[in-house]
Structure 1
């Protein structure tokens, strides 16, 4: 098994649960930098075939026996966990007047789409999950000296002490492995970018600034001076408190301040970006996709049409339930079109279709499918305003122990008094629970191509003359072995938590081709 956010393996119980945004934490001390590397441009077409991940449509559906990351059980036979998550009380004991109030607050007299319910449950300024947890993101005062730890047991014991000393919900990978995690990303950028033009970087959800500082440190000490002198780094951050922390973190190095700025806004809001920017740039999204709003579609059986799901409140009881409507929402329809759920049905012969219809009537099986409409909206905005952007995204490719039905279903987990437990319905998330989704990287790639204009099914076939993006998917260990310094996160006995424990996280890299005008 693998690990999941908020978990750890140890002989002792501890707490640790957090959100999934790119909430990177602060580095208060200057860290030693790596030796200079030669900058060999990364040719995507000539990249190591052993590292390439080219999933088919079916392979994107991960079976139950797939490697899993971040499980919560502390049994010895499971793979190491990064964070503690002791067994919790029954959820029924956690109901509070606040939950009932916020349920009414989210859904009024009129039904709302599932994505709007999730958006409010997570990000409502007053009652949303993230708005209430300003100290959920951990900050390490010092980098972990992995080469001074004996092995896995010593590492887990060290983590346990960190959590008890800090009383923080969780630490992000970029924080646990600072500065090396950010250095790997910086190296990937330097090897892939055109260094003859000014380097411009945008980070969506910059968290506490550890990633930004690590990347700028690396470029300052490893790239030609003109690259650092002419670079700019912009963090697009919706949280005012995190925006201030980012300025403090990056400002620890005085020369960074003139090259770094924070724009406090929603990255998915097109109006905040201004005019279209034709210059090449990089966009970084670390653990951003898992907390973006999703929509839900439903089909009562294998042959019935898909319906979009709305959330409505029963006026007499105040309870929430689902309402099903024909597919009409434009964003849902675009995502549905990209996923192409009904293409196989239309391509089937009449005999197969008839047999399927008979079977579905005899053995009806409801179907539920979660659509990453929040990701699609963000990509549409980014491609529209930054047509020559290169993209690096990292997130969960799989989540363990999901109790909610549907393909790409989320984990909905709440925590109280150091104890965490999962909900069996997303409707139970009323501002007190994290809602985070696995990323379907096959679908992410399709959405990326679609938003670039290549896959759009227009009558004008000129948009299909050539791909506008070169893409590659790497698991975290492959990415760090290629671009990072694995020796820096290795313990004395050879155990490497960055390479060994992150089995269900991936990196997605996407760069423009010559077809971009």
Structure 2
């Protein structure tokens, strides 16, 4: 039963659902029924009598919820706090979910999503693929007929079995609007390359999490047909964490485009430095990056980190401790520098007396609302700074999502059960059966990204272009001849000239809506329906680009 999948011992504060367009096939199927997170859960079925073999089994505590109105079991809390602290890297060796351990929220999410033995992506997720066929947009009457056509493609995957979670199928704009979506990305990248680096540098692309390899195929097909001189100088690298997808990508791309190299590795374990100018693609990737959870003590405003505990029964709980994790501490320090406020009302932060009065009210909470902070996203930005010092980032993902669980920047947690998409209200769910994905505040991401690139390590490993051996004047410092620098450009990297030989800085990244970006680079007439609607523009209105 589904209830047995949502193991929880708390009631903490639910992937992505584009504008009027569901993520899973079940909502597209004519026979499916819409789900509602407001429905009351079905009562538990009567349990069969225990056999002799079950007499020594621990008692069942499924769906037990702790409450602040009840007496706290201090002994139980102390036992949970005494569990061994583990992380996702250590848990990769486990063949089944661990017990009697505790871990940070980001390690819990990473283990649930990416564990090679029981994680969601290695074992459950399937990316919707139309194979070698594309939609004939110009022949479809309207968006309703387009969704019916998509639904028929989903039906080819078959119906779910009725005794457990179904196949977790989800789609991306790359697959729905191929090849035109990929061609738009290709036009964006090649225009920048031709303007700044051709013919002195190779066209180097790194794609993080390439899925079925469709985007890489569409980009490279376009380059070979329209820019053969650029294609001859293209090196396309895929960094992929999923072993199954690595095999699929190699099989799909190796014979068609020998310039592709697929590396089976997590981007967070990347060690090789790329000194040349390059472009980094991260399309529909960062929403599944693990987040940490913090809450603030409303008496002291001290931040506390959340630890997920798993007891000997396999039940989950949350405990909170002072910040000791270096990555969480680093993120909070960066947020303070960028003047990004925490999720506490400004009046409470500004007036200690008001805060004390509020915390002394009857039934007042002692902790703030849960906040999910993108610590793994910060790890990515540092990886780009340290190992790709001359990169240009093209990133796209969800800026908002419906059906999220309670909390600031909280994720959607959902699965598919009996052909229906089911969002739940907690992140503490059974390993491997649920997708956990987050929205991204793109304005804050841009601030974090630019600040991270401006740190000193950004210049490490940079090399001059073939035009010069060393950039002499810049050895004196980027500001030696002038104190003026445009606010929309990064500082130039000392010792490195542009392809034109001028010591200019890179343009700072900008945030675009999905429609704004595609209106600039896409051939919109290719995806326009008879009614004049354009699903490539009108769907995914909750998606943004950083470039």
TM range (shorter): 0.7 to 0.9
Conserved? CA contact 1:238–1:265, under 8 Å: yes
Gaps of 5+ in 1: 16-71, 75-84, 457-461, 510-517
Change (3 A) 1:296 1:413: same
CA change 1:487–1:90 in 2 (3 A) is farther
Structure 1 residues 305 and 241: alpha-carbon distance in aligned structure 2, compared to 1, 3 A threshold: same
| Cα pair distance change 1:134/1:73, threshold 3 Å | closer
Q: Please, what TM-score do these two structures have when normalized by structure 2?
A: 0.70
Following the alignment from structure 2 to structure 1, what is the Cα–Cα distance between the partners of residues 300 and 539?
41
Question: Which residue of the partner structure matches residue 186 of structure 1?
Answer: 186
Q: Residues 112-511 of structure 1: matches in 2 within 5 Å?
A: 112-133=103-124, 135-167=126-158, 169-193=169-193, 194=196, 195-196=198-199, 197-223=201-227, 225-251=228-254, 253=256, 256-257=257-258, 259-270=259-270, 273-274=271-272, 276-301=273-298, 304-315=301-312, 317-340=313-336, 352-362=351-361, 363-364=364-365, 366-402=368-404, 404-454=405-455, 467-468=490-491, 470-509=508-547
* Structure 2 counterpart SS, 1:262: strand
CA distance in 2, matches of 1:192, 1:429: 45
Q: Per-residue CA shift, 1:49-75, capped at 9, x if unaligned?
A: xxxxxxxxxxxxxxxxxxxxxxx669x
Deviation of 1:146 after TM superposition, in Å, equals 0.2
In structure 1, C-alpha distance between the alignment counterparts of 2:343 and 2:150, rounded to whole Å? 48
* Counterpart Cα distance in 2 of 1:104 and 1:248: 28
Moved more, 260-269 or 442-451: 442-451
Aligned-partner SS, 2:540: coil
Note closer, same or farther for the CA distance 1:181–1:307 as it changes in structure 2 (3 Å cut).
Answer: same
Higher deviation after alignment, 6-15 or 167-176: 6-15
**Shift of residue 478 of structure 1?**
1.0
DSSP-derived class of the 2:232 partner: helix
Unaligned stretches of 5+ residues in structure 2: 1-18, 48-56, 63-90, 159-166, 458-476, 492-505
Decide whether aligned partners of structure 1 residues 487 and 358 sit closer, same or farther in structure 2, where only a CA change above 3 A counts: same
- Does the aligned pair in 2 maintain the 1:144–1:177 contact within 8 Å? yes
Q: Distance in 1 between matches of 2:536 and 2:349?
A: 51
Contact 2:208–2:281 (8 Å) recurs in 1: yes
- RMSD between aligned alpha carbons? 3.5
Bigger radius of gyration: 2
Quote the offset at 1:221 in angstroms.
Answer: 1.8
Report the more deviating stretch, 420-429 or 2-11.
Answer: 2-11
Aligned 1:47-62 pairs, distance under 5 A: none
List per-residue Cα deviations over 1:28-64 (Å, max 9, x = no partner).
Answer: xxxxxxxxxxxxxxxxxxxxxxxxxxxxxxxxxxxxx
TM-score using structure 1 length: 0.74
What's the CA shift string for 1:340-393, capped at 9, x where partnerless?
Answer: 266899x99997333233234335462211011111112211210101100111
SS in 2 for 1:13: coil
Distance 1:105-1:434 versus aligned 2 partners, 3 A rule? same
Q: How many pairs does the alignment contain?
A: 424
Please point out which of 98, 101, 118 is paired with 1:110. 101
Please tell me whether the aligned partners of residues 203 and 283 of structure 1 are also in contact (alpha carbons under 8 angstroms): yes
- What is the SS of the residue equivalent to 1:120? helix
Take 1:353 and 1:308, find their aligned partners in 2: how far apart are those partners? 23
Runs ≥4 residues deviating over 6 A: 342-345, 347-351, 462-466
Shift of residue 338, structure 1, vs aligned partner: 2.4
